[in-house]
Each structure stands twice: as structure tokens, then as C-alpha cells.
Chains A and B, each alone.
Chain A
Amino acid sequence: MLMTNLNVVGKRVLRQDAYEKVVGGKGFPVNFSLPGMLHGKMLRSPYPHARILRIDTSRAEQLPGVKAVMTPKDVPQIPFNPIFFMPAGSMGIHRDMLILSDTVRFAGQPVAAVAATTVAIAEQALQLIDVEYEELLAVFDPEEAMKEGAPEIHVGVKNNIRDTPSFSAGDVEAGFKDADYIFEGTYETQRVHTCYMEPRVCVSDTDSNGHITIYSSIGHLFGLRERMAYVLGLPVSKVTAVQAPYVGGSFGSKIDFAYIEALSALLSAKTRKPVRFEHTRYEDFICNARHPMKVHLKTGIKKDGTFTARYASTLCDTSAYSTHGPEVILVHAYFGLMLGYRSPHMKWEGTVVFTNNMPGGAFRGYGAPQAAFAVESQIDEICDKLGFDPIEFRLKNTPRQGDPHPFNPEWKLNSYALDECLNKGAERMGWSQRAKTGSASGAKKRGIGMAAHPLWVSGCVGFPDIYEHSGAIIRLNVDGTAYLSSATMDIGSGQNTTLCQIAAEELGLAFDSVRMAPGNTDNLPFDAPTHASRVTYSSGNAVKVAAADAKKNLLEVAATVMEANVADLEVRDGMITVKGSPAQAMSVADVVKRAESPFMVIGAQGPAPTTLKEKGTIMGISSVAPPANASPAVAEFVEVEVDTETGQVKVLRAVYAHDLGRVVNPAAAEGQVEGGLQQGIGFALMEKMLFDPETGACLTSDFLDYKMPTAVEMPSKIECIFIESNEPTGPFGAKSLAEACLIVPAPAIANAIYNAIGVRIRSLPITPEKILAALGKL
């Protein structure tokens, strides 16, 4: 049963950092500086594939103001993989990147770095570095890269095929034989960037013992420490990563190591000065991006609308380095393509290919937006062709509440309300009045479409070799407030506020009595990165455990002081009372004061001893992983208007229904949905990074080149329906929200476009030109 007598959780509280951010955000790492700091810049290769024959840095070194120059020979040649969420030495990842390498595999790969007294001098110095390259043949198309005779990008990787994961259940061929109908299609997605607002930035400082301290805009404090130590060949205890109070966006991008962190440390060690790097927007663009994927999907279906067999194959361009490729394709397959819908027979085959393109990275949804575009588009095609109602059809083929979790049958779908999402969303959108496909008249045609995502994660428990534990420390202050410390990085979604709400609720304090106290890797317990959809559920769980621990200690002291039984005490809104006799009360502040006071306290009545039992700072601590990985369930409905003369699409309205277990902060939850829809509309209709087909150079350098939806392109009506199914393993019943709201918009929009104009576009982005071409008008 859903707990209803909550004071803080479920309330629309104001973010603690809201005002500060609006006026410039002192806490953003980009605003951080140290006295005497030098500025670093990287020289980048103009070639997509080359060997460096010679680098001459002498002219650069002579430029006044230049303090150090680094080339591949000056940096440890320790291969690494930049992903923070897996151990640096994990068997599950390929380590094929170097801080600076003699081999260039994508246009823009750094080949040298400079530290100088100003940014302008550092930039000038780059132009004075002479590099002699031996150009090698490059390949940018993953299908070309797999052909015999294609350039070899990594020595010994045949046909540039990094990995070929697969899985199957049942006998998919037999399943297709059983089918009354078979649907088949290929769905393609493009390379898009997360477009976080704050650039990647870091400042490293080295002390005389060689201990490195790094301040950074990264989304994982402990991952940063671990990767720094790994690539520099140091023990982790030689690196301290300092937590910024908040970071200006990540959306997945910043759970990777970039080149700048290690370079700043090396340059700092060499110069004995702090060294700062800040990416330009162009450098951010080529740092990492969502993997383009090509999905072939084949579905066998019975006359009654049940699946008999599902087959899919995925081609993933992992780019010049392995990075996330082998991992993202698995999440894509299990949680994106296959497990959300039941079928007796399933088979999936993946291919992860190297090309000379810029690195792939994590992006909110991690492989699932690419998958959902295929799955949800094809379901719409099936329903349209066979006359099924898309909602009933989905319910027929999706898991039910209480079912074993399709990924790990040891867990159950304890809370699971996909049916409610679909039904309530449909009702709000007026789904039953949806016009027949293509029946609208006039040049501008409206259509309604929907998509669901039946299975997703609330963290990473259960995945091999992915970190998933969190810790928290709660300390109570003599004024009755509490400090919460957690290594969770607030990347802009309001994590700090959510975690403070959870702590306040558990402690029995008012929301604004709990404050997030940032720390560093020396004094905080480990926390997994801010990625997946994990913070509220997983870090939130750890915060709740720490708060419960602190509360237990608080009540024990209170019981001594109040001469009451611990079991009889309760705390609410900062007051501790004996249950049933509210007159017997003491404030949290007074209890903490007693605990923090000297042994002998001289008051108005003279000296009075306090007892040893009361002594000590009242605190709580935790380091735990959640017991399961609860699945949210979502459905989104959109209405679009397609201008059939210009091909332009406007999203007029969106209704988003999401079973998130429990809403901790409705305002933050709505913000997530709006942001997800914005990124989803961009993915669906306009965003695409562009590259020179000859040189592979990224042509997207700023937001004049990169089209993402502005407030004007957003629908004026975005309606959220949050379904509170009360997940027993989540803090106060909560599970996740963050990613699913970006997984569903693209197929929902594609389906709405189909409903409006009867034309199916199977490659993103659905540009005006594609629409006009499909209508036979271009």
C-alpha cells in the first residue's frame, strides 16, 4: 500500500540550487579556478587515420608563456577504456585508447597538448607544433568497414568487427513457421549529441608528493579517480576527485573519461602548477555521441495478435575506439529490442564495428532509443495492417504485474502498471477519436501516434561488471538540521534535491533542514555514476538507509534524555514525541545539542552532568546496493501536424504516462519529462551531426550547425500522468524516471506522422525532405 502520510516526499519543493544557478552558478565546475593556474589546449589531428612520424615542438616551447608541451612519448602508454561505470580492469571491456597515441583513428583525435599562461598563448602554441603524418586509408561507413580489403583500424581486428554478441531463446525458425503473418523492416538512427550546457572542464593540481587533486565537470566522482589512477599508473589513493555541488548537464556523455583529465594532471605534474582545460563546443561535439544503429526487425504474428517469433539484428558503429559499443549494444538488445514483449521464440544478433568516426558514448536511454524506434514503429505497422488496436495489442504481448522479471526471473515485477499508463494516456489524449490514417484533409494534416516502453531499468543491479552500490553519510547539526553527503553527482536533474527530500522524510525533518554537503573521494563512500535511471532508486535507497541509521541513533539519545522507551518515540517535522502523549516532546535540535555538549553543562540551575550514553555526533552511514532493479513502464501519446507542402512537422501535444512507483518531487519529475521530450523531438525530427564524407571531419561545431528544438518547437501542452505503483524495493516506493521519457518520443512521433499522412519513415531524423520525398513531392 502506498504510504500517504508523507511530509516531504511527493511535495513540489524548490531546488536548493535553483536561484544560484540562474544567477550564474558559482558551483559549476566551469566557474572554478585556482591561483596561478595554467591553461591547457590540445592539438588535434586533421586526418581520420594516420601514423605520426615525427612531432617537433621546439617552436612552441620557445613561445613566451608556454610552460609545457606534451606528445605521445611524454605520456604513459597504458591502454584504457573511458567508461566509468565498469572497473578499469574489467574483462568485459576493451582497452584500446591512449591519452596520446602515435596512431590517429578519427579526425580530431588529440596528438599533443600545451600548458601556457593564457588560453590565447596555448592556442597560438598549437600552431607552432609541427607534426608529420603518414596518412592511412580511412573508412566511415560501418558496412564498408566490414568488407574484405577495408582499412584495418585496430591491428588484428579482422574486418573491423569488434564484437558479435547474440542470444536466442526457443527456435525462432519454428516460430516464424507458426506465424500467420510476418513483418520485416530496417530502421536506422543517426549520430546525435547530448548537448549538455556546461562544457567539459577540469583543473588538476599536483602536490610535492605527486598527489593529484582534480576538479571536474564529470558525472562520476569515483570513476574519475579510478580512471585517472589507471591511465597514470598510480594507486587510487594518489588521486582525489573533488565533488562539484552540481554539473551543467551530462545526459550520459560525462560518464566517460575524456583526454583532458589525464592531460591536465600530467601537465600539472610537469609544471608544478594547476592546469585547467575547457572544451570548446566543437571539442564537446567530437568527444562522444549516441551510436548510430541499423536494426533489422522481423516479427511473426498469429491471427489473434500474439507474437510467435521475434528476430532482430543490429549493426552498431562503435567508431574509432571500442568505448561503449560492446556494452551499449547489449542493453539495446535486451532492454530495448527484445525483453519488453513476450514471444516464445526470439533471436538477436549484433555486430559492433570499428570505423574512423568520432567516439561513441553514453546518451540517456543507452541503446534503447534506437531500439524503440524499430520496435514501436513496427508494432504500429502491424496494427495498422491487421487492424488491431495498438493499445490492446501491446497489452496482449507485454508482461503483467507480478510476472517474473524477464531479465532476471529471481526478481518479480512487483509494481508494474503498464496497463494504467496505456489506458490513462489514451483517455487523456482522446485516442478513441483518433482519425483513420491519412484521412485528414487540407495541406496541413494532423495525426496522433503512440509508443510504449514496457521494460526498463532503475539502476544496474544484475548487469555483469557494472558498479551499482551507493553510500551516504548523514550528520545532524546542533541547530536541528542535517547534512547529507553522497558522491552522487547532480548533473542537472535535481538529484541533490530529491536525495535531500528522501533524507528529510526518513529523519522526520522539514525539507529545508537537510542540506547537501559536497565532499571528495577521500571522505565520501563510493557511489556509482549518475547514469542509467539509477539515482532516485539506488542512491536514494542508500540515503534512506543512512538516514534511518541516523534516526535510530537520534532516538536512542532522545530516549536516554527523555527517559522514554526508544520504541515509543517518533520524530516529525523536527520534533520528537512520545507516541500517544504529545506533551512529552523534545526538538531534534535539543537532542543533538545534548549529544554534542560537554560532560558537565552549567545552566541556569547550576552545573548538571550529562551521561556518557548521550555523547557523540549523531550520524548515520550506509553503503548498499538495492535488492533488485525495478522496471518502470511508460506510454507516450503525441499529436502532430504535418505540412504536406513543406514537409515540416510540428508536435502539438504530448501526453506522457509513466509508472515511476512514487513521485518524489513532481516539479523535477515534470522537468525530466519535458527535457526528455525535447531531446526526443530533436532525435525524431532534426538533430544530426554532420561529417565531411572525404575527411571524416566533424562539420558540426556549434548550435548554428546543430539543430535542436527550441522552446518554440516544443508543444505548448505537455501533460504528465505519473502512476504511483509503490515499488517495495524503492525508497518510499520510488523507481525510475530519467531515461524512458527520451526512449519513446521518436517512435510516437513517427507513428503520429504515419497517422497524419499515411507515410512511414524508417530512418531518423524524419526531415521535411524525407517526408516530401515519401509523399512523392521531391
Chain B
Amino acid sequence: MALVKLKEFCIPESPGQVSACAAKYGDNALILGGGSFIHGLEARGLLSEVEALIDIRKLGLAGMAATGEGVRIGAMTTFAELEKLPELASAAWLGALKDALTYPPMQIKNVATVGGCIAASCPFFDIPTAFLALDAKLTVSGAGAKREIGLAELFAGLFENSLEPGELITEVRLAKPAGRAASAFIKLEGTANDLAIVNAAVRISVDAAGVCQEVRIALGGGVGDSVVRSASAEKLLLGQKLSADLIQHAAEAVGQDISPMEDHRATAAYRLAMAKVITRRALNQALSRLN
């Protein structure tokens, strides 16, 4: 079967033990979060070189907290737990995360972790798109050292992250934006069990006059090797008073920043057209939450 070279299943209880196991196996050690992505890799025979699995359940990385500043989410928090965060129900600025969490199938929600979903660097997942629009910051810890990075810095390419062997994501932080802000997320899917054909998340802040103070537009699902932001669309909106026409115009502009692919889910042309449609819908959805 797929894990033909597996020699060790490590269950570290301290960061030091993670480093020890990682040092022993180097690139052939794989961190195990909820295992839902790893399971798929294994079933497809893509883990034939892996020698050690490092199960990080005993590191105490699950949990979440909300403060006036924002939200902190431990890397091992599952989607199902995260859904229970009370702020999701009330805070308009977290709308994108709330929306994104409605899509994964229940079985996945019960096991998939926040750390795993971003470390996978898979452009077809939903929560990372929402996190990018929400300007997520990550705490990464390795042998002794801790560092803070932005989510975009984590993505090194298709299924590749920028972590060093033995480095872990320990926490995701979402800072509450200033002013009147709201966010929204939409996924276009073939079936409820499937990954995104395309998805889009937006976060927008406006002043009292309805002028856009800040906007972040993120797209995922086969529109690039990683989840991407649309600078072109953002530029059109920033500093402007938002109207239906302007939103439509900005949504059209996302085409300039994405490179849609063709696969069994959809053609590139369809993805391109849909990226525009759902960006517009997500913008409108966010705006409706401002009021």
C-alpha cells in the first residue's frame, strides 16, 4: 500500500520531541494533523517515501479565543470546533470564515484541522481562501525558534509550503479590521463532497459615506497554484463609493490576476467566468452584512 516505507509513528508531547523526530527523518517525516488530506495522498500512492508520521495531537494546539483585537485559533482546532466560536454568529467581519465553514462535509469537519488545511497548500480548499481575505497571520515554531508569517508567505507552490522540516504551524491569528468591516465567502462546487471549482472571499471596510477604506479579495480553486489575491479588483474599489456598476466592474477585473486551469471539474473558460460571478456575489454578500 501507500505508506510502504513507514518506520515510525511518533507521538511527541513537546516541541523538542517534534524536532528530534524531524531531525531523524528529515524530508521523509510528515506531520499528521487531522489526516484528512494525508489520507487522500496515501490512497493515491503519493506517500511512498514517507518514513515517519508525527502525530501532533498531544502538543496542546487545539483551542480558540476571541478578544477585542481579534481571534486566535490553535492549529489543531477542528473545523467542527471552530464553527462553535460565538463571534462567528455575530461579527460581520468574520462572515467569510463562517461561510467557508459551511461547505466541507460533516465527516471532514470533524477531523480536519485549521493548521492542516493551510499547511496542505492546496489551492482547492475553502478555509485558506477565507483566511487570506481575513489577512491571517501564522505562528510557526521550529527547533527552538518561533516566527510570525503572513498566510501568503506560507504558500510556496502547488501542494508546497515554505516550512522547514520540523517546523509547525501552531496558531492562526485574525486581527479585527478597523471601522465598519464585513466579509463573505462563496464556493462553487460540483457536489457537496467535492472541492471548489472556484471560490472567492472578500473583506471590505467602508466609512460613513460608503467609501471603501480597505478591501481584500482572494480567490481559490484552480485559479492558480495557490490561493491568490486580485490586486486589480481591489484597486478599482479602494477609495471609491461602492455602486452596483463598480462592483460588477471590479469583479470583471479578477480575470487579470488569476490563471484558471482545466481539469475534470471544469474548463479554464468556465473557471474564469465563474471567478467573476462569485466575486461579484461575494462582494454583494459582504456589503449586505455591513448594514
Query: How far is A15 from B92 in the complex, measured between Cα atoms in Å?
Result: 48
Return the contact of B273 from the options A124, A686, A713, A772 (Cβ within 8 A).
A772
CA distance A709 to B190 in the complex (A): 9
Q: Which A residues form the contact surface with B (CB < 8 A)?
A: 119-120, 123-124, 645-648, 686, 690, 699-705, 707-713, 768-769, 772, 777-778
**A710 B192 Cβ-Cβ under 8 A:** yes
In whole angstroms, what is the CA distance A124 to B5 when docked?
A: 13
Q: With A124-B4, A686-B190, A768-B266 given, name 18 new contacts (CB 8 A).
A: A120-B1, A120-B4, A645-B277, A686-B191, A700-B264, A701-B44, A702-B44, A704-B195, A707-B190, A707-B194, A710-B192, A710-B193, A711-B192, A712-B192, A713-B192, A769-B267, A769-B270, A778-B270
Beta-carbon contacts of B192-207 to A below 8 Å, as 1s and 0s?
Answer: 1111000000000000
User: Can you sample 26 A-B contacts with CB below 8 Å?
Assistant: A120-B1, A123-B1, A124-B4, A645-B277, A646-B188, A646-B278, A647-B270, A648-B188, A686-B190, A686-B191, A699-B264, A700-B264, A701-B44, A703-B193, A704-B194, A704-B195, A705-B264, A707-B191, A708-B191, A709-B191, A710-B191, A769-B269, A769-B270, A772-B270, A772-B273, A777-B273
The answer for the CA separation of A123 and B3 in the assembled complex, in Å, is 13
Chain A positions within 8 Å of B278 at CB level = 646
Q: Does B43 contact A (CB under 8 A)?
A: yes
Residues of A within 8 A of B150 (CB): none
Task: Kindly state the separation between the CA atoms of A710 and B192 in the bound complex, as whole angstroms.
Answer: 7
Bound CA–CA A769/B40 (angstroms): 28
Provide the bound-state CA to CA distance between A319 and B270, in Å: 31
Chain B residues, Cβ within 8 Å of A700: 264
Is residue B274 within 8 Å, beta carbon to beta carbon, of the partner chain?
Answer: yes
A703 surroundings in chain B (CB, below 8 A): 193
Question: Which residues of B261-287 have CB atoms within 8 Å of chain A's CB atoms?
Answer: 264, 266-267, 269-270, 273-274, 277-278
Q: How far is the CA of A769 from the CA of B266 in the complex (A)?
A: 8
A119 touches B1 (CB 8 A): yes
Residue of A nearest to B277 (CB): A645
For window 218-273 of B, CB contacts with A under 8 Å fall at: 264, 266-267, 269-270, 273
CB neighbours (8 Å) of B274 from chain A are 646
Asked if A646 and B192 sit within 8 Å, CB to CB, the answer is: no
Cβ-defined contact, B270 with A713, below 8 A: no
CB distance from B273 to the nearest CB of A (A): 6
Residues of B within 8 Å of A120, CB to CB, are 1, 4
Min CB–CB distance B79 → chain A (angstroms) = 16
Whether the pair B43, A778 counts as a contact (CB closer than 8 A) is no
The residue on B at minimum CB distance from A124 is: B4
Contact status B191-A712, CB under 8 Å: yes
Q: Which residues of B contact A707 (CB under 8 A)?
A: 190-191, 194
> What chain B residues lie within 8 Å of A119 (beta carbons)?
1
Instruction: Tell me the complex Cα distance, A503–B237, Å.
Output: 73
* Chain B residues whose CB sits within 8 angstroms of the CB of A123 once the complex forms: 1
Report how far A778 CA is from B105 CA in the complex, Å: 30
Please give the distance in Å from B101's CB to the nearest CB on chain A.
15
Q: What is the bound-complex CA distance between A690 and B267, given in angstroms?
A: 14
**Proximity bits, B160-189, A CB within 8 Å = 1, else 0:** 000000000000000000000000000010
B residues less than 8 Å from A772 (CB atoms): 270, 273
Shortest distance in angstroms between A574's beta carbon and chain B's nearest beta carbon? 44
Question: Is there contact, CB below 8 Å, between B277 and A646?
Answer: yes
Top 8 nearest A-B pairs (CB, nearest first) are A712-B192, A710-B192, A707-B190, A645-B277, A769-B270, A710-B193, A710-B191, A707-B191
In the complex, which of the residues A123, A646, A648, A703 has the most CB atoms of chain B within 10 Å of its own CB atom?
A646
CA distance A702 to B44 in the complex (A): 9
* B225 → chain A closest CB, angstroms: 19
User: What residues of B have a CB within 8 angstroms of the CB of A702 in the complex?
Assistant: 43-44
Q: What residues of A have a CB within 8 angstroms of the CB of B43 in the complex? A: 702
A697 to B150, CA, bound (A): 42
Using CB atoms, name the residue of chain B closest to A702. B43
Distance in angstroms between the alpha carbons of A710 and B269 in the assembled complex: 26
Q: Whole-angstrom distance between the alpha carbons of A267 and B274 in the complex?
A: 53
- Cα(A303)–Cα(B257), bound, Å: 57
CA distance A119 to B40 in the complex (A): 19
| Contact A713–B191 (Cβ < 8 Å) | yes
The distance in angstroms between the C-alpha atoms of A707 and B43, with both chains bound, is 18
Across the interface, do B269 and A778 meet the contact criterion of CB distance under 8 Å?
yes
